[in-house]
Structure 1
Amino acid sequence: MEDIYVNRKYFNFWQYFFLITFLSTSFISCQKKEVKLIDRNIHAYILHIKNERLHEAFKIINITTDSIVKKELKHHYNFLTQTNNELHDSIKELDKELSFINTVKLPSSVRSLAFINKGDFYIGVNNLDSHISFENYVLAYKEAKKNNDTILICESLKKILFTLYKNSESDSSTCKKYIDVYKNFIYDATENTFYNFYYNDHLGYTTSTSRIKELKKVLKESKTIKNTFIKGKICQLIGIHYNYFDHNQDSSLVYNNKAIKYYSSNTNNLNKIELHGIYNNIGMLKQESDTLSEAVYYFYKALKIELPKNRFLEKEKVNGQLSELFEQRNMADSALYYLKQKIKYSDILAEHQKAISIIDINTRYETAEKDKEIIAAKLKSTKKTNQLIISLAILFIVIISAYLLQKNTRKKQLFAEQAQDLEAQKVKSLLQEQELASIDAMIAGQEKERQRIAEDLHDDLGGLMATINLHIENVSSGNNPNALDKTKVLLNEAYEKIRNISHVRNAGVMANKGLLVAVKNMAQKVNDSNKIHIEVIDFGLNERLENSLELSLFRIIQELITNIIKHAEASKATIQLTQHNYSLNIIVEDNGKGFNLQKKSQGIGLHNIKQRIEHLKGEIKIDSTHMKGATIIVDIPYIKNT
């Protein structure tokens, strides 16, 4: 019962161990699947947006179940579709969300998208905040790079390059570095078009050479893509190169108008901002060519574009252009009005820049505080992670220790069982040896007793028979009239003595003649009955065996012949004795009715035979078929004297 309890205990332990392992593996597998699903949704959304399939992109938002991912996708979508006031209000919400995202462990794709969103909203609301946008785009790139996320790497690099493109004071080496990186991650025709745009713009700027031919080739190759924004940018850049390098205003206007068509085909917020800039540029071209009425037309169109309320620089610029234009046309009132508008936006811009400086100081302080909080949160998270690792390590050590303990206990049990089996074998062997010694002692005692009886026969009956012989002589001579009576008395006495020792008559034969003679004598006596004929055949029995062995073999043969006489109903039997170098072989056969080998109950005689053979370390084989007699083969190990 104790062994059953121990086994059941270990069985329950391993059940719990495998259950915990299964649940842990399942949990990790589910987490990996969830991360893959999040990445797949974000990638699908970005590809739809890039190809200007806003309706399909919105479907991705609706089917997304993770609340944080859903929010970030919505922010990105709103940046393209919301009104300007809504964009301004979204920045505070984004700041809060990024603070939260920095304190929790999220997939790199989610963090990258969150940084892109923050950069978009800052540059969309106020182009003076482009440095903040640039920092967030770089963070987005680093997050995407962690998992080698090609789609988000390209998305963040496009944002970085666009910020550098808009900033005329940006370092050209920084721009080249990111263009070279971008080249290694291009994965489709749209990305290739964006890359070629930024590459040719950078090369034209740094070498002061026209890239019109190369840009036209890029525009031609872009016919297969759906992105109108980059097509508009290429046309706009060709127009700039025509005006700046070739001083060809007509061609410049042609490509600026093509850009307008592309931007107007999809009026998302990005295209709106670009439309404002291109209208202003065309107005300046018209102003330079003295087509002032057309210049006014395009400046007015620029003013009608709804810009985010903090885009003061663009508003200051277009109002300044109108003021100059009306001054050229000697329209003092209109010139004064737009000059005041320009001054107003200039003052606001100056105040805004001061505010930005104050905000920047405050932001740095808040950032430092947030960094402290983030570091504290990370330390706390690291501490928890370390505790988890230590707990798992301890659990692992406990499991291994329990396994080794169970294995060691099992080994000890096996060793104990083996020791018990060995001890039992030793006891059995000792009992067999003792039994054999007892049998040998019994046989030796029986032989001694029979020798003694033989000696008594010789000494006692020999003398008595000699006396009887004398009386018989007396009867013959007639010298003694009582000799006959005395002879009868002596004969009766001799008869009684013979009856008392008749049971040991065979011992005398064994002692004097050996096994083979004793067996042949026994067979002859049986043959004299004329009921069964026994034939004795011998091979190699030229020398006497050990006395006790001969006696044991004789008793085995005697018992087998007795069984044949009693049960076999045989008319013939054969006893075959063979002595080999290392064994003695006895074969006893008869032509009787045989017996059933499968029958469990056996007679005492056959049991005794088997026991005697076992004590002699021999083997017995029995072959019997119904009505076809029986054959019994006995092999006894014995080393022949050479």
Structure 2
Amino acid sequence: MSKYKLILLLIFWVHFSFAQNKSLDRFFKRAQLDSIEQIVFNENELSGIEDQLVTANYYTVQKKLEKSFEILLSIDTLQLSNKNLAYYHHFLGKAYDHNSNFDLAFKHYQKAQKRYLDIGDKLRYNDLNLDIYYTMFDPTFYSKSQPKYLEAYAENAKKLDNLNQLCFLEIEKAFNSIEVDTTYQDFLTHLNKAYDYNSQDKNPFTLGILHTYKGMYYTDYIFDKDSAKYYYNKGIRINRKLGLQNKIRLAYHNLAELERIQGNHSKAINYAKMTIKQSNKSIDHDLSAYVYELMAEDFMALKKPDSAYVYLEKSMNYLDSLNAQKQNINLTRFQADKKEKENLILTQKNEQNRIVIYSTFGISAVLLLLSFLYYQNFKRQQLIKQQKSQLKINRTEKKLKEQELKAIDALLEGQEKERQQIASDLHDHVGANLASISAYFEVLKQKMSNTKDAEVFAKTYELLRSTYKDIRGLSHYKNSEMIADKIFFVALKDLCQQIEDLHEIKFKIHSFNTNQKIPQHLEVGLFRILQELLANVVKHAKAQNVEIHVNFYDGSLNIIVEDDGVGFDVEKIENNGMGLSSIKKRLESLKGDMQIDTRINRGTTIILDVKL
């Protein structure tokens, strides 16, 4: 792993946010560890599992990995929600990453990514693409897959339009450009783009990182000691405000390296001592060991072997402490692995029980299905026998039905002739007599001298004229004929025209597919029902407009009669008058039904449906 990649990984130690608390989310993103510490240890903003997860991440940031592992590996993952499980794997992967267990870090990062996708957290899903990319710098780990994670990070950062992610993308492009651009101009171009993104995002944590990289540029690529020191010191000032001791000691380490390059070993030793001073010696065993080893080399360069030996021994002591720390972590891991295996065994047992239950249900279902199929076959044989018997019955019933229809047609024909005769008698005899009586009354009215008698006589005369008009109208639309060459719809139009001529009612008739011929017994019966309905409109509705819709569809005839009259109470009318009961009986004989929708002063709608 190259030098700059190692430093890059060190810088990313504190770069993470926790979405379940807005304050923590902001503080983790900007690496404000004092504020995080206040929330985690002095306030009651978190509780239970969230408190454990955030505390573990805080210890990881502080590089107190033993405490971080102790908390994380004690958590019962079977009890975690999908969201907390995502954070758990992310934080555990981060701890393994800091402990150089890159294979385990990769494993948990991938699990966290899957959970983040499940809960729709695309931002943190993409953060992990970059984390996974950095775990793969060791060629023995997944080197062939490494580029795809950076490509995915770049694509998602652009889609999300996240300024901080776009900033880190430019940083990575800058370092990748070193391999193809020996002038290092592309490095500076990408780094300046990162500065542009940071100027919009205003994240001081990221700005401190950028200053460190700018110092590295003037140290390792275009050597300019003054510029390098300028940017390192700018980074130190920012990180001191943020309380990031690990960033400060990294800057002093870089300043020591800057002096070491020029052979200024005394100054390099001074900066190295400042690096150690900023370190937490109880936990920074690896960094302390490395710095002491470099100091030993500096003392050897200054011809001071005794001092070199002292610092080399310190380096070895810290390496021993580091090994002890890793052993403790491995012990914690062993205990956690044991618990994880127990959980896995429990899960497998539950799965086996589930399989047994499903198998039992499956076998029962198969037996039930076989029994059902046997029963269905038996029923089918019985049904075939019944169908054969029913077929004979149907043939007999069909013959009887045909005879019945012929009888009904003959009966309807007789009733029609009788109706026509009654209507004719009403018109020719009763109507004629009433007309003659009306004429005589007109003569008597002119000779009437007594005013009081004349008033009574006038009322009687008007009543007589009204009676004559009703009988005349009744005889006309009762005498409407249904003859062979006049189909149902044409006969209906003629009936409406007759009523319109005699009364102040306007008719509108709408039709669809009305050229279809219907059986004569249905045609006559429906026509008489409509005569009765329209007679009710004339007598009772006080309507000015009537709309009739006639529609043939799917082997049925649908008729809708709507008026804008005074309406009526259906329950009262069905028990008293208007002939609704007789209309329903007629429809039942035609195998039809009727629906009535009416309200007082809201008009009436009557729907007739008859199967053809």
- With normalisation by structure 1, the TM-score equals 0.46
Please tell me whether Structure 1 or Structure 2 has the larger radius of gyration of its CA atoms.
Answer: 1
- With normalisation by structure 2, the TM-score equals 0.48
